[in-house]
Amino acid sequence: MMIYKKVERGVELKIDEFSLRKTFECGQCFRWCEVSENVFKGVAKGKFLTLLNEGDKIIFKDVSIPEFENIWIDYFDLTTDYIDIKNQLLKIHPVLSEAVKFSSGIRILRQDRWEALCSFIISQNNNIPRIMNIISELCKSFGERISENSFSFPSARKISKLDENNLSVLRAGFRTKYILDAARKIAEGKIDLKSISSMTLHDARKTLMKICGVGPKVAECTLLYGFHRLDAFPIDVWMKRAMKTLLNGIDPCELGKYAGVAQQYIFYYSRMNKEFFCH
């Protein structure tokens, strides 16, 4: 159930299952941050946005109703019923209940395909603060200015015209050549992101992995976060540990069409309870 209305400060939203903090800090995105208690800012869809969490309400600051309806309902996946998803997951495997309860409020953002691909190429063998720094520098150096101090994510076409020397400001290390390979294959049309949308999960994976620097994990993250394939199931070291503890002997395939959402609940749960999972 979603209710929204225009108020002085922007658009006020009331909806179930939407925690800004959990959604932004669960590891799916790298361009949002909490600037003060329950105030978040970030860039998405080529726009700068400030969000406030006040009780059970969320304020989209300085946003009009048309902008909210045309852009942010989609980006924040507000028409998807996460209560229903949770119920379906718990019906399949009740052992998930603790993780689902802990992570309740996460929504899988509908991020830009190229941004998700590029971001998770950068994420490999890297830590989250540094991933955020590299992406921030990428946008500052090669994106377009969209407000006083924020920049859009540069297009694949723009990146494809650069070389390793240009990109050295990112300090991205060995990942630089991977970013370039991805940008060039997309700019040259060797890989068509739009057509990947309509492929089976298997073919989509295979196609993305033609890019040098894209393996199973990055492909899976790209599909889940950039293509909203909720059945994609990224497995990293954290998920391996968590699955051993929580889902011993369970095949991710058993989690069905919302396996990716389950993955996000489990991932966030294990990251926020390191002492329990990390030993």
Partner DNA sequence: GTCCAGGATCGGA
Partner DNA sequence: TCCGATCATGGA
Which residues of this chain interact with DNA, rule CB under 7 A? 26-28, 123-131, 168, 171-174, 209, 211-219, 221, 234-239, 263-264, 267
Q: Which of 5, 190, 217, 274 is catalytic?
A: 217
Active site residue 244: no
User: What distance in Å separates the CA atoms of residue 172 and residue 53, rounded to the nearest whole number?
Assistant: 34
Other CB atoms within a 10 A radius of the CB of residue 254 amount to 10
Q: Which residues contact 144 (CB under 8 A, 6 or more apart)?
A: 151, 152, 154
Least Cβ distance, residue 259 to DNA (angstroms):
12
Nearest distance in Å: CB 9, DNA: 31
Measured distance CA(24)–CA(42) in Å, rounded: 10
Cβ closest to DNA, residue 45 vs residue 130: 130
The three-state secondary structure class of 59 is strand
User: Which phi and psi angles does 13 have, rounded to 5°?
Assistant: -120, 135
Closest approach, Cβ 265 to DNA, in A, equals 10
**Count of alpha carbons within 13 Å of 80, Cβ hemisphere only?**
20
55 or 129: whose CB is closer to DNA?
A: 129
* Residue among 159 and 239 whose Cβ is closer to DNA: 239
Q: For residue 99, with 0-12 CB atoms within 10 Å meaning exposed, 13-18 middle and 19 or more buried, which class applies?
A: buried
The answer to whether 26 touches 234, Cβ cutoff 8 Å, is: no
Nearer to DNA, 50 or 133 (CB): 133
As measured in angstroms, the least distance from the Cβ of 240 to DNA is 9
Q: Which residues are identified as catalytic?
A: 217
